[in-house]
């Protein structure tokens, strides 16, 4: 099985140096790209069916194609890597950045070449101190070797790259809020349109992609679009995916597997099934803002289409496992407290609705729930539905709750009827 993104990541946890990265074929993709035209690179990525790994699965080549190109296009354009990774239960980009920072840097340079960017930023969350140190070392190595800066490897292409460490807020991961943060402002999301591809950072065309998305690009360049599609088990997209599992499974970890590996394989084979004494009750397939699935769904493929058909989203691909001794209401409370705290406050349904939701769930957990609370919670899931809020944070916050009300309704009722949480006391 091919694992292009992680096969060279060292077991001892140290990062690949530039020399080590080059020895694995590193920066060959960039050399190849510089001999092509930007349009050819963009088409290759389109043909590979690479889809964004940040959660929404937008086709990457298509996203790039909205950037104005040619003589009349702005000379200043930006490439930004989204390394905010604050979605609870998500721990994949950290591994890629810490394990092989040059792979990310190379992917960003190639992507920058494809859209004609002259400046690039790695936007990294504050808490990733070790990742930040390693990125700074790798950037320095890349500049010295002529992979960054003026006239890269003797070509006519030039691009600079800087690290920006965030100061902590989940909303910074939303791409337009991220741009405001990079501009030194409060990270409220921006209206779309205009889309960042046309008017992004400082009003210039900007591409924001997830860290994992960029890490795929060098491999597509060296091995081609056909190869990239051939290593996937999914109809809808190419490549591998970093899948993870946390919670009470035997071997919580991250695995790089063909896109479209089934949920059952990930949980049973790779994570080793549940710890002794625990049963699988439900799971969030791709981070905190995805709908619950249940053991009935273990045969579905973890790709964008099949998870959507089952009523959830693949999201970040990192699974949060809920066992039978964990309270679904308590878990929703933990999630909604997070979302309420991280709401940026810009629009009313989210600013008012999320704290209210958390308060109701808290009452249920404390044995103070009332029968009408189910109706209030259901109302919130509609009130904060897509289209009613300014960005996707609030609808995302409602995904675990609406599905918990569907699958674990008896737990909500029991909290209300018996005036207590049976999991706690």
Partner 1 sequence: MAKEKVVSDEAKKEIEKLFHHLPHKQAACIDALKIVQKYNRWVSDQALEELAPILEMSPNEIDSVATFYNIIFRKPVGRHVIFLCNSVSCWIMGYEDIRKAIKEKLQIDFGMTTKDNRFTFLPIPCLGTCDHAPALIIDEDLYRDLKPAQLDEILAKYE
Ligand X SMILES: Cc1cc2nc3c(=O)[nH]c(=O)nc-3n(C[C@H](O)[C@H](O)[C@H](O)COP(=O)(O)O)c2cc1C
Contact call for residue 343 and ligand SF4 (CB under 6 A): yes
Task: Give one DSSP letter per residue of 156-182, joined into a string.
Answer: S--BEEEEEE--S-GGGGSHHHHHHHH
Choose the stretch contacting partner 1; rule: CB under 8 A; options: 43-51, 139-147, 179-187, 219-227: 179-187
Q: Which of 11, 159, 206, 17 is nearest to 101 (CA)?
A: 17
| 14: DSSP letter | P
**Count of residues touching ligand X (by CB under 6 A):** 24
By a kind-dependent CB cut-off of 5 to 8 A, residue 389 interacts, out of ligand SF4, ligand FES, partner 1, none, with ligand SF4
**Cβ atoms of 96 and 16 closer than 8 Å:** no
Q: What end-to-end distance do the CA atoms of the chain give, in Å?
A: 47
Contact call for residue 128 and partner 1 (CB under 8 A): yes
By a kind-dependent CB cut-off of 5 to 8 A, residue 304 interacts, out of ligand X, ligand FES, ligand SF4, none, with none
Contact call for residue 189 and ligand SF4 (CB under 6 A): yes
**Cβ atoms of 80 and 182 closer than 8 Å:** yes
**Cβ atoms of 412 and 329 closer than 8 Å:** yes
**Near ligand SF4 by CB under 6 A: residue from 168, 203, 345, 375:** 345
Using the minimum distance from each CB to ligand SF4, give the nearer residue, 68 or 355: 355
Identify residues 189-228 at the interface with partner 1 (CB under 8 A): 202
Cβ at position 54, least distance to ligand FES in Å: 17
For tokens 């969030």, name the residue.
Answer: 284
By a kind-dependent CB cut-off of 5 to 8 A, residue 88 interacts, out of ligand SF4, ligand X, ligand FES, none, with ligand FES
Using CA atoms, how far apart are residues 275 and 342, in angstroms rounded to an integer?
Answer: 32
Binding mask 72-111 for ligand X (x = CB under 6 A): ----------x-xxxx------------------------
User: CB pairs under 8 A, 24+ apart, for 174-178?
Assistant: 174/391, 174/392, 174/393, 175/82, 175/208, 176/391, 177/344, 177/391, 178/80, 178/82, 178/84, 178/123, 178/208
Using CA atoms, how far apart are residues 169 and 342, in angstroms rounded to an integer?
Answer: 6
C-alpha dist (Å) from residue 207 to 109, 147, 182, 313, 357: 12, 20, 13, 23, 35
Q: Where does this chain bind ligand FES (CB under 6 A)? A: 88-89
Using the minimum distance from each CB to ligand X, give the nearer residue, 213 or 380: 213
Using the minimum distance from each CB to ligand SF4, give the nearer residue, 289 or 389: 389
Letter string b/e over residues 347-377, b meaning 16 or more CB atoms within 10 A of that residue's CB: bebbebbbbbbbbbbbbbbeeebeeebbeeb
Phi-psi map region of 202: left, alpha, beta (phi>0 left; psi -120 to 50 alpha) = left
CA atoms within 13 A on the CB side of 98: 16
**Near ligand X by CB under 6 A: residue from 15, 26, 54, 61:** 54
For strand 240-246 and strand 160-165, is the pairing parallel, antiparallel, or unpaired? unpaired
**Near ligand SF4 by CB under 6 A: residue from 91, 390, 408, 412:** 390
By a kind-dependent CB cut-off of 5 to 8 A, residue 256 interacts, out of ligand FES, ligand X, partner 1, none, with none
Cβ at position 260, least distance to partner 1 in Å: 22
Q: Burial of 151 by CB count in 10 Å (0-12 exposed, 13-18 middle, 19+ buried)? A: exposed
Query: Cis (ω within 30 of 0) for the bond into 194?
Result: yes
**Near ligand X by CB under 6 A: residue from 106, 175, 256, 373:** 175
Cβ at position 353, least distance to ligand SF4 in Å: 9
Continuous H helices in 48-198 = 60-65, 93-99, 101-115, 129-144, 175-182
Using the minimum distance from each CB to ligand SF4, give the nearer residue, 45 or 358: 358
Contact call for residue 210 and ligand X (CB under 6 A): yes
**Near partner 1 by CB under 8 A: residue from 89, 116, 286, 349:** 89
Using the minimum distance from each CB to partner 1, give the nearer residue, 49 or 241: 241
Q: Which residue is nearest to ligand SF4 (CB)?
A: 350
Using the minimum distance from each CB to ligand SF4, give the nearer residue, 266 or 332: 332
Cβ at position 82, least distance to ligand X in Å: 4
Point out which residues bind partner 1 (CB under 8 A).
85-91, 93-94, 119, 125-130, 160, 162, 164-170, 181-187, 202, 244-248, 252-254, 284, 288, 318, 320-323, 326, 330-331, 334-335, 338, 341-342, 344
Binding site for ligand SF4 (CB under 6 A): 171, 189, 343-347, 350-351, 389-391, 393-394
């Amino acid at each position: 099985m091919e694992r292009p993104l992680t096969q060279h990541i060292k077991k001892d946890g140290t990062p690949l140096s530039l020399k080590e990265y080059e020895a694995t074929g590193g920066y060959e993709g960039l050399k190849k790209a510089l001999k092509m035209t930007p349009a050819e690179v963009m088409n290759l990525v389109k043909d590979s069916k690479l889809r964004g790994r940040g959660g929404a699965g937008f086709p990457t080549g298509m996203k790039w194609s909205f950037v104005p190109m040619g003589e009349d296009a702005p000379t200043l354009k930006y490439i930004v890597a989204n390394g905010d990774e604050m979605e609870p239960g998500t721990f994949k980009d950290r591994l890629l950045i810490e394990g092989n920072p040059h792979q990310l840097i190379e992917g960003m340079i190639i992507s920058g070449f494809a859209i004609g960017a002259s400046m690039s930023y790695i936007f990294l969350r504050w808490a990733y101190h070790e990742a930040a140190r390693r990125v700074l070392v790798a950037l320095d190595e890349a500049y010295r070797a002529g992979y960054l800066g003026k006239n890269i490897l003797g070509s006519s292409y030039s691009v600079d790259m800087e690290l920006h460490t965030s100061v902590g807020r989940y909303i910074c991961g939303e791409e337009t809020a991220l741009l405001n943060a990079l501009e030194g402002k409060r990270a409220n999301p921006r209206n779309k349109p205009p889309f960042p591809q046309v008017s992004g950072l400082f009003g210039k065309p900007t591409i924001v992609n997830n860290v994992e998305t960029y890490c795929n690009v060098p491999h597509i360049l060296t091995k081609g679009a056909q190869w990239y599609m051939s290593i996937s088990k999914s109809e809808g997209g190419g490549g591998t995916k970093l899948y993870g599992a946390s919670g009470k499974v035997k071997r919580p970890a991250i695995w790089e597997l063909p896109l479209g590996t089934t949920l059952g394989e990930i949980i049973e084979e790779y994570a080793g099934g549940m710890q002794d004494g625990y049963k699988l009750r439900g799971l969030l397939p791709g981070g905190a803002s995805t709908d619950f699935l249940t053991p009935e769904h273990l045969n579905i493929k973890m790709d964008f289409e099949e998870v959507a058909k089952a009523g959830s989203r693949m999201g970040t691909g990192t699974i949060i496992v809920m066992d039978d001794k964990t309270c679904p209401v308590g878990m929703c409370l933990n999630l909604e407290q997070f979302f309420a705290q991280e709401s940026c406050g810009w629009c009313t349904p989210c600013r008012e609705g999320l704290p209210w939701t958390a308060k109701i769930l808290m009452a249920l957990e404390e044995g103070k729930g009332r029968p009408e609370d189910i109706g209030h919670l259901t109302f919130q899931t509609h009130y904060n539905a897509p289209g009613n809020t300014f960005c996707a944070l609030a609808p995302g916050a409602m995904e675990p709750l609406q599905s918990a009300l569907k699958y674990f309704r008896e737990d909500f009722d029991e909290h209300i009827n018996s005036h207590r949480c049976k999991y706690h006391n």
